[in-house]
Amino acid sequence: MATPCLRSASDAEVNTRGLGAKCRNNLEKTAWSDCLPLYENTVHRINMTVDPNKKCSQFEMQTWLSTALTNLETCKDGFQELGVGDYLLPLMNNNVSSLISNALAMNKGNKSSYNEPSYQNGFPTWVNRGDRKLLQSSSPASHANAVVAQDGSGDYKTIGSAVAAAKSGGGRYVIYVKAGTYNEHIDVKSDNIMLVGDGMGKTIITGSKSVGGGSTSFGSSTMGVTGDRFIGRGFTVRNTAGPKNHQAVALRSGSDLSVFYECSFEGYQDTLYVLSNRQFYKECNIYGTVDFIFGNAAVVLQNCNIYARDPPNKTNTLTAQGRTDPNQNTGISIHNCRVAAASSLSGVKTYLGRPWKQYSRTVYIKTYLDGIVNPAGWLPWSGSFALNTLYYGEYMNTGPGSSTANRVKWKGYHVITSATEAARFTPGNFIAGGSWLPGTGVPWTSGL
């Protein structure tokens, strides 16, 4: 079912590479340059679903096809964000999007079952024993393949140089980053990278790109991760562009089977870009203002702190999930977390989310909601857009902002009362966590 997609996507990638000369200005060229890796990754993900040498499950196929479609949407979004003509898009896309949507629908109808693997020490089994030991080690330098230190005491002085030297194809490659503030933009493209710092607020990666400054959301990230099976622990990623520069991403992740543990992501609008694939965040802090957890990954945030900062327009939205096809197995699940005000916040309306795309899907499960949450809970994007097609849910939340008595009355909003329904969005089910999380060494809870 995915073979026609692969053919069409491969042709589209070739077409896209040849369109640089047709860009009429620098902003168009900026948007086009994002599309190159996105189309390349689309071909890669579709190819993974048809690789005769590696059998994949129905769940994996749905994940990678979802990512392929998200990549094409992300390319289009860049042109819209920068306000430049999108006349190039038909030349890139031809009929790839519709072919992927058809494949998603056909694959969802495949009733082959997924057998949930066992859990080990609170982690899904896709996190292997060696990774668990590394994550829980009190002396990461002793396990590192490379050490980064600004004072010259390591193998590299910058994180980017250590990442660039990492080799794909082997086992886990561990980069230990000593305490310090690293002003650089990092793109992790290799698979199986583990980045370990000295702790939140000690190892700091910082940048300041933004849409207001001429980047796309995709291109504004201080740290971008595309290599699969990435693990990060014990560092802070910041975007300091400020609340008036619009979209300005701290972390962007499109890494499948990725884990972030004890990390902090600090920005304003669009802080944490959970772009695509399966992701898990444990005991992390996320700071922002507008749509500051957004994207179209299948992602679970567990035992995290979500802090709303003071925004320029006096309205905060915690999430903006971007599902564009009802058959994509994507969404944002916020489980056993805490939503509260950052120290700077005062008297601002804060909403749990708004629908960025047609089939936006977000749930809050057993999460503490502070009094900053507006009684309506959720905010429209524009008029009645997506209010009937989205899926927003709340289950057994606590705190002064958790009452559902005055929540929105949209068709797509649900006060979840069934444990079976809520369990669909736990790590064990939503991201098939049992097959990969135990090996990462990150403590996690499979179910409710």
For residue 272, tell me if it sits in a domain. Answer: yes
Residue 448 belongs to some domain of the structure = no
210-213 CB contacts, 8 Å cutoff, 24+ apart: 210/239, 210/241, 210/242, 210/245, 210/246, 210/247, 210/248, 211/81, 211/82, 211/245, 211/246, 211/247, 211/248, 212/241, 212/244, 212/245, 212/246, 212/247, 212/248, 213/241, 213/245, 213/248
Asked if residue 308 belongs to a domain, the reply is yes
Identify the domain containing residue 41 by its residue range. Answer: 1-109
Per-residue pLDDT reduced to its tens digit, 228-261: 999 999 999 999 999 999 999 999 999 999 999 9
252 and 364, same domain (yes or no): yes
pLDDT digits (tens, 9 = 90+) for 379-390: 999 999 999 999
The Cβ of residue 2 has, within 10 Å, a number of other Cβ atoms equal to 24
Name every residue whose Cβ is closer than 8 Å to that of residue 235 and which is 6 or more positions away in sequence: 177, 195, 196, 197, 198, 199, 200, 202, 203, 204, 205, 263, 264
The Cα 21–Cα 64 span in angstroms is 31
CA–CA gap between residue 427 and residue 124 (Å, rounded):
8
| Closest C-alpha among 409, 341, 418 to residue 372 | 341
Choosing from 109, 125, 149, the residue where a domain stops is 109
Q: Does residue 228 have an active-site annotation?
A: no
User: CA-CA distance, 352 to 373, in Å (whole number)?
Assistant: 7
pLDDT value of residue 432 = 80
User: At 394, which helix (H) or strand (E)?
Assistant: strand 391-395
Read off the pLDDT of residues 11-38 as tens digits, 9 standing for 90 and up. 889 888 888 888 888 988 999 999 999 9
In a domain, 165, yes or no: yes
Separation of alpha carbons 255 and 259, rounded Å: 9
34, 131, 256, 291: the catalytic one is 291
Contacts with 37 (C-beta within 8 Å, 6 or more apart), sequence order:
226
Same domain, 92 and 230: no
Q: Are residues 98 and 153 in the same domain?
A: no
Nearest-CA neighbor of 81 among 251, 208, 245?
A: 245
Query: Is residue 31 packed enough to be buried (19+ CB in 10 Å), middle (13-18) or exposed (0-12)?
Result: buried
CA 360 – CA 365 distance, rounded (Å): 17
Residue 177 has which token pair?
């980053």
Residue 115 reports pLDDT greater than 70: no
Tell me 104's DSSP state: H
% of the chain exceeding 70 in pLDDT:
90
CB contact set of 390 (below 8 Å; sequence gap of 6+): 355, 358, 359, 360, 361, 410, 412, 413
Task: Report residue 8 as tokens.
Answer: 């069409």
* 365/220 same-domain check: yes
* Interacting residues of 253 by C-beta distance below 8 A, sequence separation 6+: 224, 225, 230, 260, 273, 274, 275, 277, 279, 297
**Claim to verify: residue 152 and residue 98 sit in the same structural domain:** no
**CA-to-CA dists, residue 221 to 92, 241, 247, 249, angstroms:** 24, 11, 10, 4
Domain identity same for 23 and 170: no
Domain C-terminal end among 109, 124, 141: 109
Choose one of 109, 124, 159: the last residue of a domain: 109
Residue reference for tokens 């939140």: 200
Residue 172's φ and ψ, nearest 5 degrees, are -65, 130
Question: Do 175 and 163 form a contact (C-beta atoms < 8 A)?
Answer: yes
Q: Is residue 445 part of a domain?
A: no
Are 29 and 165 members of one domain? Answer: no
Q: How many domains does the chain have?
A: 2
How many CA atoms lie within 13 Å of 341's alpha carbon, on the beta-carbon side? Answer: 18
The residue-averaged pLDDT of 204-223 equals 97
Whether 75 and 174 map to the same domain: the answer is no
Q: Considering the domain boundaries, does residue 389 fall inside one?
A: yes
Q: Cβ(227)–Cβ(264) under 8 Å?
A: no
DSSP state of 118: P
Q: What is the mean pLDDT of the chain?
A: 90
Residues 371, 400 contacting (CB under 8 angstroms): yes
Share of residues in the chain with pLDDT > 90 (%): 70
Has residue 372 got a pLDDT over 90?
yes
Structure tokens at 200: 């939140």
Strand, helix or coil for residue 277: coil
State the Cα–Cα distance between residues 416 and 394, nearest whole angstrom.
Answer: 6
The answer to whether residue 128 is domain-embedded is no
Tell whether 103 and 140 lie within a shared domain.
no
Q: How far apart are CA 212 and CA 70, in angstroms?
A: 23
pLDDT of residue 88: 72
Q: Which of 1-10, 256-265, 315-324 has the lowest mean pLDDT?
A: 1-10
Say if CB 81 and CB 211 are below 8 A apart. yes
pLDDT on residue 143 = 81
Cα–Cα dist 370/176, whole Å:
36
Q: Domain of 12: which CATH number? A: 1.20.140.40
Same-domain check for residues 169 and 93:
no
CATH number at residue 368: 2.160.20.10
Same domain for 30 and 63, yes or no, is yes
| Interval 46-64: pLDDT, tens | 999 988 888 888 889 999 9
Give the per-residue pLDDT at 443.
Answer: 83
C-alpha closest to that of 287 among 262, 270, 312 = 270
Least confident residue range of 112-121, 342-351, 378-387: 112-121
pLDDT of residue 166 exceeding 50, the answer is yes
User: Is 152 among the domain residues?
Assistant: yes
Domain shared by 160 and 284, yes or no = yes
Give me the sign of the Cα torsion angle 205, 206, 207, 211: positive
